Amino acid sequence: MKRALNPRVLAAALFAALLAIWELTVRQAGISALVLPAPSAVVRTLWTTLGSGYLWPHIGATLAEMLLGLALGGAAGLAMGVALAESSLLDRMFKPYVVVSQVVPKLALAPLFVLWFGFGMLPTIVMTALICFFPLMENTLTGLGQVDPNRLQLFRMLGASRAQTLLRLKLPAGLPGILAGLRVAVVLALVGAVVGEFIGASRGLGAVIIAAQGMMDTPLMFAALTVIACIGLLCYQAALMLERRLLRPYADHS
Amino acid sequence: MSAVAAMPFLDIRGVSYGYPGRPAVVDGIDWRLEAGGFHCLVGRSGCGKTTLLKLAAGLLAPRSGRIVRADGTPAAPGPQLGYMFQAPTLLEWRRVIDNVLLPVSLQRRPLAADLDRARGLLDMLGLSGHAQHYPRQLSGGQQSRAALARALILEPALLLLDEPFAALDAITRGELQDDLMRMCRLRSTTVLFVTHDIGEAVYLGDRVGVMHRGRLVADIPVSLPAPRTPAMRHEAAFNQACARVFQAMTGDGP
């Protein structure tokens, strides 16, 4: 007997139990696969669609939109955060517009983007970028604003230029906050990409879900959802690992 | 003693500082810092001693009066000054050796000679094994030593310290006081050391200035022989000097 159960084992056991209950319920109650397919049916669909190569281009499209949107929106958010933190004039000028642009639900803009950018990857990338912009900007702005005044004074004392103070003090000091923003943005990017595909795309996992709905192929819908969940988990873990790696010196007694 | 007094290293002439509509934080102070001397400044919390230190550093500009260096130019921040804050203010994302070299690397790319000097300083301060560690891996006393090494790396002619050892335990503080005195005597650095600890001021200082409500109420020469040794702390002469400073601080003095 082990004295303490490993939490990972517990989590895996819970997952297996939930799947078993789901499987049993569907079989016992005779629920139609159209309403709720059994996990076994979902796995079978997943296996065949991955094996036949049907899903891969869609996975590629969703990943490309997500990563491009994240890169563009994240970079723009970082740059805007730095600009607003460094210049109170820019802050006063741009902040209201930035806030308004974030108060408007961006998913509601998707039909407009289709109108402007056509059916394809571009409208989805633009929307994903818009969604990723805000967490990066907000966290950069906060992170750069919270630098210890003694450290700022130290840099002044040492005759550091403004660029040196920004690059060698403010950005590294704000890095934990910036990376937390990135972690939020990664998750939002996936949501943005999939929802964008709902509205105006012929490729991508969002488009697969819409197509499966049209064909009343619920197992395919679940298969696509499973893939989306896996992508989300992997990307989140990747962001977490990047954070741990970069922040190692910041941790106590690493 | 020569008949003609040497030009003071830093001449504080009638300096006042404060905010409009409030009592002056620093109120008409005259003080001369002699070259190579160890000057301590004691006073209660909020008496304006840190402000005077920042004025001497040129971080603040006096509202009236002047602070003149030996060459006749007004005080200004820059690499010719070493400054140590109450907290070590190391950059936790840089290794100890890079922290020590920060004043150099903000001016130019550190040369092999700079690296040797940094290693030598760390050696003298008992940190040679920690050069490649991050500050968070060091104890409080070690962090203060690293900050001292950083303040000394450019061999400044003037060293300004703002209660640098206040957060340390008594034994570590004593060790650091001896280290500091040794380093400064070696280079005949002029020192202005702010503290609220009378024993520390008397032990370290050639002269002890006493501040009260923004004014310099006493300038007491300490006639203990140099170099000071820890055994002196228990001698009668030491306690007499402490008593004089204490009287001046509480307002019963001359």
Distance from CA of B50 to the nearest CA of A (A): 13
CB atoms within 10 A of CB A148: 13
B94: left (phi over 0), alpha (psi -120 to 50) or beta: beta
Kindly report the CATH number that applies to the domain delimited by B37-61+72-80+157-254: 3.40.50.300
CA distance A245 to chain B (A): 12
Nearest neighbour of A249 by CB, restricted to B77, B92, B106: B92
Q: For residue A170, name the pLDDT band (cuts at 50, 70, 90).
A: very high
**Interface residue B108 vs chain A (CB under 8 A):** no
Q: Which of residues 169-188 of A touch B (CB under 8 A)?
A: 169, 172-173, 175
Answer yes or no: do B78 and A175 touch at CB < 8 A: no
pLDDT tens digits, B26-40: 888 899 898 889 999
Q: What is the pLDDT of residue A151?
A: 92
Question: Which backbone phi and psi does A111 adopt, to 5 degrees?
Answer: -60, -35
Quote ipTM for the complex.
Answer: 0.84
Return the residue matching tokens 């094996």. Answer: A51
8 A C-beta contact, residue A252 and residue B92: no
Rounded alpha-carbon distances, angstroms, from residue A85 to A77, A90, A134, A153, B246: 12, 9, 14, 17, 47
Q: Å from B79 to nearest chain A CA?
A: 5
Asked if the model's pLDDT at residue B242 lies above 60, the reply is: yes
Name the closest residue on chain B to residue A157, using Cα atoms. B77
Q: Look up the CATH architecture of domain A68-246.
A: Orthogonal Bundle (1.10)
What the block records as the tokens of B200 is: 């520390």
pLDDT bucket at B253, cuts 50 / 70 / 90? very low
User: Among B126, B98, B130, B127, which residue's Cα sits nearest to residue B114?
Assistant: B98
Mean pLDDT of the region A194-198: 90
How open is the CA angle A174-A175-A177, to the nearest 5 degrees?
70
Domain ranges of chain B: 37-61+72-80+157-254, 88-155
- Asked whether residue A2 carries a pLDDT value surpassing 60, the answer given is no
* DSSP conformation class of B8: P
| CB pairs < 8 Å spanning A and B | 58
Q: Which two tokens stand for residue A110?
A: 């998707």
Residue-level pLDDT at B191: 93
Separation of alpha carbons A122 and A120, rounded Å: 6
The answer to whether residue B3 scores a pLDDT higher than 50 is no
Rounded to 10 degrees, the C-alpha dihedral B40/B44/B46/B47 comes to -60
Which A residues 44-73 touch B at CB under 8 Å? none
The pLDDT tens digits of the residues spanning A34-48 come to 889 999 999 999 999
Name the minimum distance, in Å, from the CA of B104 to any CA of chain A. 9
**pLDDT exceeds 80 at position A4:** no
Under 8 Å between Cβ of B211 and B27 = no
Cα separations (Å) of A233 from A62, A155, A190, A220, A244?
Answer: 15, 41, 10, 20, 16
**Above pLDDT 70, what percent of chain B?**
96
**Tokens 């310290």 correspond to what residue?**
B161
Q: Directed axis angle between helix B112-124 and helix B170-187, to 10°?
A: 130
From chain A residues 100-159, the ones with a CB under 8 A of any chain B CB are: 148, 150-151, 153-159
Residues of A in contact with B59 (CB under 8 A): 153, 156-157
Do B89 and A150 lie within an 8 Å CB cutoff?
Answer: yes
pLDDT in tens, A233-252: 999 999 999 999 999 888 86
Q: Please tell me the predicted confidence (pLDDT) of residue A50.
A: 93
The runs of H, that is alpha helices, within chain B are: 49-57, 96-100, 102-105, 112-124, 140-152, 170-187, 198-204, 236-250
What is d(CA B119, CA B188) in angstroms, rounded to the nearest whole number? Answer: 20
- Name residue, tokens 């005080």: B75
On the question of pLDDT at A102 being above 70, the answer is yes
Mean pLDDT of B110-137: 92
Which of A147, A150, A157, A162 is the best mutation test for B, with the most CBs of B within 10 A?
A: A157
Interior/surface letters A60-78, b for 16+ CB within 10 angstroms, e for the rest: ebbbbbbbbbbebbbebbb
Interatomic CA distance for residues B179 and B117, integer angstroms:
16
Between strands B10-17 and B64-69, the pairing is antiparallel
- Residue spans of the domains in chain A: they are 68-246
pLDDT, mean of residues B144-166: 91
Mean pLDDT, rounded, for B69-94 = 87
Residue A235, Cα to own-chain centre: how many angstroms?
Answer: 7
Report whether pLDDT(B188) > 50: yes
Q: Give the pLDDT band of residue A71 (cuts 50, 70, 90).
A: very high
- Per-residue confidence (pLDDT) for residue A3, from 0 to 100: 56
What confidence tens digit (pLDDT) does each residue in A127-168 have? 999 999 999 999 999 999 999 998 998 998 888 899 999 999
pLDDT at B4 over 60: no
Tokens 């939020």 belong to residue: A184
| B139 shares contact with chain A (CB less than 8 Å) | no
Range A80-109 average pLDDT: 88
| Res. A58 pLDDT band, cuts 50 70 90 | very high
Going A26 to A29 to A34 to A36, the CA torsion angle's sign is negative
